[in-house]
Amino acid sequence: MVNNTDVTSATAPCVVERHSPHALQFKGARWARTLMRWLGWSVHFEGLPSAQGVIVGYPHTSNWDFPIAMLAKASMGIPVNFLAKDSLFRIPVFGRWLRALGGVAVDRRGSLGVVGGLVETVRAHQAQERFFWLGISPEGTRRHTPGWRSGFYQLALQAKVPVGLAHIDWGRKRIALTEFIDLSGDPKVDYAYFAQAYAQSRGYHAQQAAPIQPLPTTPQTTPPLATSAAPTPTPAIQENSRHG
């Protein structure tokens, strides 16, 4: 079931469509759920709406986001991929470990560009009815930036897949992935929705979280997709839920 939620004024033509997130269910690792509870984290997840999509992880302000996200990923049991610099995969042992976690090497030398290449990857998985979700940190760095990079947005629009909103909330020690939307195609509408959804989430270094707005487009600050040495995919699982 899809519910329409209007986040614009009465005269605005675009709406953001919300998905019911229960279509696909998963069984995660008990040890990961136990460890997350022992660390004091609550984790919330209700399933995925489709076999392909993009997950936005926000805010990303610390190296500690990555291990917490990996524990959340294990607790859910879903094979979500994430982007990392291609040079990291050439490091002996570490590169194999990163790939086993779900890392996808970013090759900026491809003829289609990073976004174009990922769009083709998603479309290939759609055609073959294969699972492919990609976790992306739209900030692209732990340092403060003036906004979000646009790669995740371009990818979701071009591939026509839903966007999952994953919260890394250190203020309440809460990870949540319970909301999935179809982008309207109007950045003003969509970013207003993102800002409302993430309003209560606080990063480990709250002052370093980027404002939720598109990063100004300049040759120096807008690579096709955001990556970092410690990328942050953020799938999560709802405690005490039952997955088949």
Query: Mean pLDDT over all residues of the chain?
Result: 81
pLDDT of 181 over the 90 cut: yes
Q: Which of 18, 68, 67 is nearest to 178 (CA)?
A: 18
Structure tokens at 193: 């929705």
pLDDT at 230: 41
Q: How far apart are CA 69 and CA 234, in angstroms?
A: 5
pLDDT at 218: 59
130 Cβ contact partners less than 8 Å away, ≥ 6 residues apart:
51, 124
Residue-range domain boundaries for the chain: 17-208
Asked whether the beta carbons of 234 and 55 are under 8 A apart, the reply is yes
Q: Looking at residues 8-36, what average pLDDT do you find?
A: 71
pLDDT of 15 over the 80 cut: no
pLDDT at 216: 78
Q: How far apart are CA 106 and CA 89, in angstroms?
A: 10
Helix axes 30-38, 65-76, angle to 10 degrees: 140
Helix (H) / strand (E) containing 81: strand 81-85
Does the domain at 17-208 match CATH 1.10.1740? Answer given as no
Q: Looking at residues 201-207, what average pLDDT do you find?
A: 93
**DSSP for residue 5:** E
pLDDT at 243: 37
Q: How far apart are CA 165 and CA 74, in angstroms?
A: 18
Q: Which of 114, 135, 112 is nearest to 52 (CA)?
A: 135
pLDDT at 139: 86
pLDDT at 195: 95
pLDDT of 114 over the 70 cut: yes
Q: Which of 3-17, 93-107, 143-157, 212-226 has the lowest mean pLDDT?
A: 3-17
- What are the C-alpha distances in Å from 69 to residues 75, 80, 111, 175? 10, 11, 32, 8
pLDDT of 3 over the 80 cut: no
Q: The tokens 């970092």 sit on which residue?
A: 228
